[in-house]
């Protein structure tokens, strides 16, 4: 049964299958366009409300978001939530990402966190909704249950999401209800892009009226005479030039001529199409009112083929140049080579004019794998021995107690400073607040880590060590400095690596290093989250790619060290599917797309090699580690 009132949150689907919320301001803007009815054009330009979203347009007919500069299309949806929940109160929960900026949680996660916060729970475990995290309200931190990594979180107040009342629509189609079309239109926008939208609509409407059948030659001649008369009647007195779309900007030569040619082109295209293709019915097409003969006035634009759309786009792009409208690079329809930036924004204009998601770029294809490679073409990598490596399992030496391990990294502190222990959040001058199994040391003992100088209760450090891999290493929870050799819990598997005779986008001067990881399903060991329980291994073998450059080979050598230390994979809960007890990546990013970068896991990416070197360093793997492994 539908609610009598709810808050509306517009969301988009990311590459991991998660619905991500637009901000309250963007949701209000979309709702305003819906309330304006079909006269608003059927599409939403997100850059009008948030400059960071300038490339994005939402088509309300197909419920898709289109990015003009890349051609990426993503589904969107209109979701309803209880007015008493977080979005109805303007509460946003966010976590701090690696770059130091704040990322909002998915709406269902934020609502769950807010509910626990209002109930004054000290913490909440998100495992029940598919995330392996614990939210600690006392420290305002998010803790990864598998890795014990901690991130800061925050709760902030924002605009309340739009509230709707009455009978809610069951579908996400547009308009939301038959009565929407009868609402008075919103005030027209005078920005250059909207003015261009209206000019294209006028051109399309002029070219499509009465074009449902073959036009006799006499009627064509009469139409041409009428158009000439209209142009004469509307010409400024004294031969003055028409005003530019951009106030204060003088139009370039040929601007008026180009606008006229655009209208002529739209009319010619529609007549050609009408002569060979029946016009479509107006049913389910609220973007334009039906004409007198019962056909939709935008029917001929529906039937435009790719060639005609190209011609219309090129003509309108010239108008954009002449009017001085800022543009963004767009890809060519016939390939991937860049074309004149004048085509930028055309897609949104045509989508709005036609009420359809018109794509002027051929959508990029996902290229995960290189062309087929024969065995004779696969070569070993110079400077790196072998082409295959299996997981080696390293454990702490027997007989080493946690106290004995930590003693190597700590210095005694006789007079603790007057500050908190960041593990238990109790004062260092007071006993440890750890309530678990008590180690064989006094609870008021305090130690300082020798490298970074951070100070903790000895009780707390021992508890942290016991909850980890117990491999003889320790990582400072504040600055992440690693003491000893850090190892992970990666299950047994095989890593292959070799050269293939193909180049990655952005690295045309070298061949490609291909890495193939293969981990079979199995049973979890004592170091895993659920010892004795089976685990799955989805998506194996996994293919990854590096350029065969000096830096690419350096990354490979460090990845081999990470593999030997069992740090590349772990067993936990997948952030993509929500499946638990499965093999997941362990915070060392890999490139799994060979010839594209649609998901962010491909090339070109000028910063990737530097970023992955930093991620490896965060795991304690540097060039010195390679030398240690040889020793």
Taking only the tens place, the pLDDT of each residue in 78-116 is: 998 888 999 999 999 999 988 788 999 999 999 999 999
Average pLDDT over residues 48-69: 83
Strands (E), 377-487: 388-390, 410-412, 446-449, 455-457, 474-475, 482-483
Q: Residue 243 falls within a domain, yes or no?
A: no
Q: In this predicted structure, what is the pLDDT of residue 603?
A: 93
- What per-residue string of b and e applies to 340-370 under the rule 16 or more CB within 10 Å gives b? ebbbbbbbbbbbbbbbbbbbbbeeeeebeeb
Least confident among 226-240, 281-295, 494-508, 518-532? 281-295
Question: For the chain, what is the mean pLDDT?
Answer: 74
pTM for the model stands at 0.48
Do both 145 and 18 map to the same domain?
Answer: yes
Residue 69 domain flag: yes
**pLDDT score, position 557:** 95
Q: Of 123, 289, 274, 139, nearest to 208 (Cα)?
A: 274
Determine, yes or no, domain membership for 412. yes
Give yes or no: residues 150 and 19 share one domain: yes
504 and 445 fall within a common domain:
no
Distance CA 430, CA 432 (A): 7
**pLDDT exceeds cutoff 60 at 266:** no
Give the residue from 118, 133, 165 where a domain finishes. 165
Does 80 map to a domain?
yes
Q: Are residues 433 and 539 in the same domain?
A: no
- Residue 589: strand, helix, or coil: coil
Q: Are 179 and 165 in contact (CB under 8 A)?
A: no
Percent of the chain with pLDDT over 70: 65
User: What's the half-sphere exposure (Cβ side, CA atoms, 13 Å) at 465?
Assistant: 26
Q: Can you list the pairs that 558-561 forms with residues at least 24 positions away whose Cβ atoms lie under 8 Å?
A: 558/613, 558/616, 558/621, 558/622, 558/623, 558/625, 558/626, 559/515, 559/588, 559/616, 560/384, 560/389, 560/495, 560/497, 561/621, 561/625, 561/626, 561/629
pLDDT in tens, 551-588: 999 999 999 999 999 999 999 988 777 788 999 999 89
Model confidence over 517-550: pLDDT tens digits? 999 999 999 889 899 999 999 989 999 999 999 9
Give me the CATH number covering residue 426: 3.30.40.10
Q: What angle do CA 98, 100, 101 make, to 5 degrees?
A: 110
Tell me, yes or no, whether 417 and 504 share the same domain: no
Is 519 found in the same domain as 466? no
Pairing status of strand 141-144 against strand 133-136? antiparallel
Say which range, 21-35, 49-63, 267-281, has the weakest mean pLDDT. 267-281
Co-location of 437 and 569 in the same domain: no
Mean pLDDT for 619-623 is 92
What mean pLDDT comes out for the span 387-405? 71
Decide: helix, strand or coil at residue 68.
coil
Residue 365 lies in a domain: no
Residues 465 and 582 occupy one common structural domain? no
In a domain, 465, yes or no: yes
Q: Of 470, 502, 525, at which residue does a domain stop?
A: 470
Longest dimension (CA), the chain: 105
Final residue of a structural domain among 132, 165, 198: 165
What is the tens place of the pLDDT at every residue in 139-153? 999 998 888 889 999
Least confident of 144-148, 212-216, 434-438, 627-631: 212-216
pLDDT at 45: 86
Per-residue pLDDT, 421: 92
Predicted pLDDT of residue 581: 92
pLDDT, greater one: 381 or 68: 381
- Is the domain of 447 the same as that of 521? no
Q: What is the mean pLDDT of residues 53-60?
A: 85
pLDDT for 44 equals 87
Higher local confidence (pLDDT), 494 or 300:
494
pLDDT at 610 > cutoff 50 = yes
Is the same domain home to 509 and 591?
yes
pLDDT score recorded for residue 17:
79
Higher pLDDT, 591 or 625: 591
pLDDT band at 227 (very low <50, low <70, confident <90, very high): low
- Write the CA distances from 98 to 150, 390, 452, 574, integer angstroms: 11, 31, 20, 19
- 239 dihedral zone (left: phi>0; alpha: psi -120 to 50; beta): left
Verify that 48 and 13 share a domain, yes or no.
yes
- 52 in a domain, yes or no? yes
Beta bridge partners of residue 114, listed in sequence order: none
DSSP 194: H
pLDDT of the residue at 37: 75
Average pLDDT of the residues in 187-191:
48
Same domain, 434 and 498: no
Output the six-digit token pair for 605.
């990416």
Whether residue 581 lies inside any domain: the answer is yes
Q: How much is the average pLDDT of 232-240?
A: 42
CATH number at residue 542: 3.30.390.130
Total domains in the chain come to 3
Residue 621 is part of which domain span?
A: 493-628
CATH of the domain at 51: 3.30.720.50
The answer to whether the CB of 595 falls within 8 A of the CB of 506 is no
pLDDT > 70? residue 291: no
| 223 — pLDDT class (breaks 50, 70, 90) | low
């Amino acid at each position: 049964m539908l609610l009598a009132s709810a808050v509306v949150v517009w969301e988009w689907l990311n590459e991991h299958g998660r619905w991500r919320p637009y901000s309250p301001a963007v949701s209000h803007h979309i709702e305003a366009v819906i309330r304006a009815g079909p006269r608003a054009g059927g599409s939403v330009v997100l850059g009008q409300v948030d400059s960071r979203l300038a490339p994005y347009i939402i088509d309300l007919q197909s419920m898709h978001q289109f990015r003009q500069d890349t051609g990426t299309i993503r589904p969107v949806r209109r979701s309803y939530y209880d007015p008493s929940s977080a979005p109805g109160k303007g509460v946003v929960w966010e976590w701090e990402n690696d770059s130091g900026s704040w990322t909002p949680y998915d709406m269902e996660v934020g609502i769950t966190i807010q509910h626990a916060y209002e109930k004054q729970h000290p913490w909440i475990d998100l495992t029940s909704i598919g995330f392996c995290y614990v939210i600690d309200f006392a420290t305002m931190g998010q803790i990864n249950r598998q890795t014990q990594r901690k991130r800061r979180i925050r709760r902030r107040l924002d605009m309340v999401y739009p509230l709707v009342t009455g009978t809610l629509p069951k579908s996400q189609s547009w308009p939301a209800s038959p009565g929407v079309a009868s609402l008075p239109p919103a005030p027209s926008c005078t920005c250059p892009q909207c003015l261009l939208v209206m000019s294209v609509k006028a051109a399309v409407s002029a070219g499509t009226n009465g074009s449902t059948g073959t036009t006799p030659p006499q009627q064509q001649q009469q139409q041409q005479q009428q158009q000439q008369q209209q142009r004469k009647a509307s010409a400024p007195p004294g031969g003055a030039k028409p005003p530019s779309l951009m106030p204060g900007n003088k139009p370039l030569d040929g601007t008026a001529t180009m606008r006229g040619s655009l209208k002529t082109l739209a009319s010619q295209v529609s007549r050609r199409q009408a002569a060979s293709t029946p016009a479509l019915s107006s049913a389910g097409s609220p973007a334009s009112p039906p004409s007198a003969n019962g056909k939709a006035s935008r029917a001929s634009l529906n039937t435009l083929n790719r060639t005609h759309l190209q011609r219309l786009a090129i003509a309108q792009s010239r108008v954009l140049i002449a009017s001085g409208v800022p543009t963004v690079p767009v890809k060519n329809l016939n390939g991937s080579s860049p074309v004149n930036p004048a085509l930028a924004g055309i897609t949104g204009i045509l989508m709005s004019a036609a009420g359809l998601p018109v794509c002027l770029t051929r959508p990029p294809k996902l290229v995960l794998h290189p062309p087929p490679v024969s065995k004779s073409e696969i070569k070993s990598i110079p400077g790196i021995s072998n082409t295959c490596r299996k997981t080696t399992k390293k454990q702490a030496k027997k007989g080493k107690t946690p106290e004995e391990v930590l003693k190597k990294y700590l210095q005694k502190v006789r007079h603790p400073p007057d500050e908190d222990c960041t593990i238990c959040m109790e004062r260092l001058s007071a006993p440890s607040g750890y309530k678990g199994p008590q180690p064989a040391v006094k609870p008021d003992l305090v130690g300082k880590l020798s490298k970074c100088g951070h100070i903790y209760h000895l009780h707390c450090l021992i508890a942290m060590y016991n909850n980890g891999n117990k491999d003889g290493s320790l990582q400072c929870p504040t600055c992440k400095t690693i003491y000893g050799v850090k190892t992970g819990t990666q299950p047994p598997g095989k890593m292959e690596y070799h050269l293939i005779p193909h180049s990655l986008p952005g690295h045309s001067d070298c061949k490609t290093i291909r890495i193939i990881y293969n981990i079979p399903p199995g049973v979890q060991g004592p170091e895993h989250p659920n010892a004795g329980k089976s685990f799955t291994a989805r998506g194996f073998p996994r293919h990854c790619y590096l350029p065969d450059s000096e830096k690419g080979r350096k990354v490979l050598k460090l990845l081999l060290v990470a593999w030997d230390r069992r740090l590349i994979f772990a067993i936990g809960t997948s952030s993509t599917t929500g499946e638990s007890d499965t093999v997941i990546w362990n915070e060392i990013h890999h490139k799994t797309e060979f010839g594209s970068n649609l998901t962010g896991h491909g090339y070109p990416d000028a910063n990737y090699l530097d970023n992955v070197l930093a991620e490896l360093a965060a795991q304690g793997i540097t060039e010195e580690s390679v030398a240690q492994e040889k020793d």
